[in-house]
Amino acid sequence: MADCIFCSIVAGDIPAEVVREDEHTVAFRDLDPQAPTHVLVIPRRHVPDVGSLALEAPEEVAPLVAAVRAVAEQEGVADAGYRSVFNTGAQAHQTVFHAHVHVLGGRAMTWPPG
Protein backbone atom coordinates (compact mmCIF):
# COMPACT_ATOMS: atom_id res chain seq x y z
CA MET A 1 0.00 0.00 0.00
CA ALA A 2 1.29 3.47 -0.90
CA ASP A 3 2.49 5.59 1.99
CA CYS A 4 2.82 2.62 4.37
CA ILE A 5 6.27 2.49 5.91
CA PHE A 6 6.09 -1.24 6.65
CA CYS A 7 4.95 -2.03 3.08
CA SER A 8 8.04 -0.09 1.97
CA ILE A 9 10.21 -2.28 4.22
CA VAL A 10 8.57 -5.43 2.79
CA ALA A 11 9.27 -4.13 -0.72
CA GLY A 12 12.89 -3.32 0.19
CA ASP A 13 12.39 0.36 -0.58
CA ILE A 14 13.28 1.41 2.99
CA PRO A 15 16.23 -0.27 4.72
CA ALA A 16 15.65 -2.34 7.84
CA GLU A 17 17.68 -4.87 9.79
CA VAL A 18 15.74 -7.95 8.73
CA VAL A 19 16.33 -10.93 11.03
CA ARG A 20 13.93 -13.43 9.47
CA GLU A 21 11.55 -13.71 6.54
CA ASP A 22 9.31 -16.33 5.01
CA GLU A 23 6.44 -16.56 2.55
CA HIS A 24 4.00 -14.68 4.77
CA THR A 25 6.06 -12.61 7.20
CA VAL A 26 9.06 -10.30 7.61
CA ALA A 27 10.79 -9.66 10.96
CA PHE A 28 13.12 -6.71 11.53
CA ARG A 29 14.62 -4.79 14.46
CA ASP A 30 12.62 -1.87 15.83
CA LEU A 31 14.19 1.51 15.10
CA ASP A 32 13.66 2.58 18.73
CA PRO A 33 14.28 -0.58 20.79
CA GLN A 34 12.60 -0.85 24.18
CA ALA A 35 14.47 -3.99 25.27
CA PRO A 36 17.75 -5.74 24.36
CA THR A 37 15.71 -7.74 21.86
CA HIS A 38 12.98 -5.73 20.13
CA VAL A 39 11.88 -7.19 16.82
CA LEU A 40 8.75 -6.39 14.82
CA VAL A 41 7.10 -9.31 13.03
CA ILE A 42 4.72 -8.24 10.28
CA PRO A 43 2.57 -9.95 7.65
CA ARG A 44 3.64 -9.15 4.09
CA ARG A 45 -0.02 -8.41 3.40
CA HIS A 46 -1.11 -4.86 4.22
CA VAL A 47 -3.82 -4.95 6.86
CA PRO A 48 -4.18 -2.28 9.55
CA ASP A 49 -4.16 -4.61 12.53
CA VAL A 50 -4.10 -8.28 13.48
CA GLY A 51 -7.86 -8.55 13.83
CA SER A 52 -8.17 -7.46 10.22
CA LEU A 53 -5.64 -10.15 9.27
CA ALA A 54 -7.81 -12.75 11.00
CA LEU A 55 -10.82 -11.60 8.98
CA GLU A 56 -9.12 -11.11 5.62
CA ALA A 57 -6.58 -13.94 5.61
CA PRO A 58 -7.07 -16.29 8.59
CA GLU A 59 -4.60 -18.76 7.08
CA GLU A 60 -1.86 -16.16 7.61
CA VAL A 61 -2.39 -15.78 11.35
CA ALA A 62 -0.73 -19.05 12.34
CA PRO A 63 2.39 -18.30 10.26
CA LEU A 64 2.60 -14.89 11.97
CA VAL A 65 2.47 -16.46 15.43
CA ALA A 66 4.92 -19.18 14.40
CA ALA A 67 7.29 -16.48 13.14
CA VAL A 68 7.14 -14.80 16.57
CA ARG A 69 8.22 -18.02 18.21
CA ALA A 70 10.96 -18.60 15.65
CA VAL A 71 12.31 -15.08 16.18
CA ALA A 72 12.32 -15.55 19.97
CA GLU A 73 14.27 -18.78 19.59
CA GLN A 74 16.67 -17.26 17.08
CA GLU A 75 17.27 -14.26 19.35
CA GLY A 76 17.93 -16.55 22.32
CA VAL A 77 15.09 -15.20 24.48
CA ALA A 78 12.61 -18.07 24.20
CA ASP A 79 13.74 -19.93 27.31
CA ALA A 80 13.97 -16.94 29.65
CA GLY A 81 10.66 -15.53 28.40
CA TYR A 82 9.61 -12.74 26.11
CA ARG A 83 6.62 -10.53 25.47
CA SER A 84 4.56 -10.41 22.26
CA VAL A 85 2.50 -7.24 21.88
CA PHE A 86 -0.14 -6.14 19.40
CA ASN A 87 -0.91 -2.46 19.95
CA THR A 88 -4.30 -1.91 18.32
CA GLY A 89 -5.67 1.60 17.89
CA ALA A 90 -4.55 5.03 18.97
CA GLN A 91 -5.27 4.65 22.69
CA ALA A 92 -3.09 1.54 22.78
CA HIS A 93 -0.28 3.55 21.14
CA GLN A 94 -0.48 2.01 17.68
CA THR A 95 1.41 4.43 15.46
CA VAL A 96 1.96 2.32 12.33
CA PHE A 97 -1.24 1.00 10.81
CA HIS A 98 0.22 -2.11 9.19
CA ALA A 99 -0.27 -5.09 11.51
CA HIS A 100 2.80 -5.93 13.58
CA VAL A 101 3.80 -7.89 16.64
CA HIS A 102 6.42 -6.47 18.96
CA VAL A 103 8.72 -9.23 20.26
CA LEU A 104 10.48 -7.94 23.37
CA GLY A 105 12.99 -9.84 25.43
CA GLY A 106 16.36 -9.87 27.13
CA ARG A 107 15.20 -8.15 30.31
CA ALA A 108 12.59 -8.62 33.03
CA MET A 109 9.20 -7.18 32.09
CA THR A 110 6.75 -5.45 34.39
CA TRP A 111 3.00 -6.09 34.59
CA PRO A 112 0.59 -4.45 34.10
CA PRO A 113 2.06 -2.50 31.18
CA GLY A 114 1.76 1.28 31.29
How many CB atoms sit inside 10 A of residue 35's CB? 18
Alpha carbon distance 103, 88 (integer Å): 15
Nearer Cβ to ligand 5GP (76/89): 89
By CB under 6 A, tell whether 110 contacts ligand 5GP. Answer: no
Q: Near Zn ion by CB under 5 A, which window of 6-14, 21-29, 76-84, 103-111?
A: 6-14
Is 100 annotated as catalytic? yes
Alpha carbon distance 25, 60 (integer Å): 9
Among 86, 84, 83, 81, which Cα is nearest to 97's? Answer: 86
By CB under 5 A, tell whether 28 contacts Zn ion. Answer: no
By CB under 6 A, tell whether 96 contacts ligand 5GP. Answer: yes
User: 80 near 61, Cβ under 8 Å?
Assistant: no
Task: Catalytic residue, from 24, 46, 98, 100: name it.
Answer: 100
Nearer Cβ to ligand 5GP (1/31): 31
The one of Zn ion, ligand 5GP, none whose footprint includes residue 32, by CB under 5 to 8 A per kind, is ligand 5GP
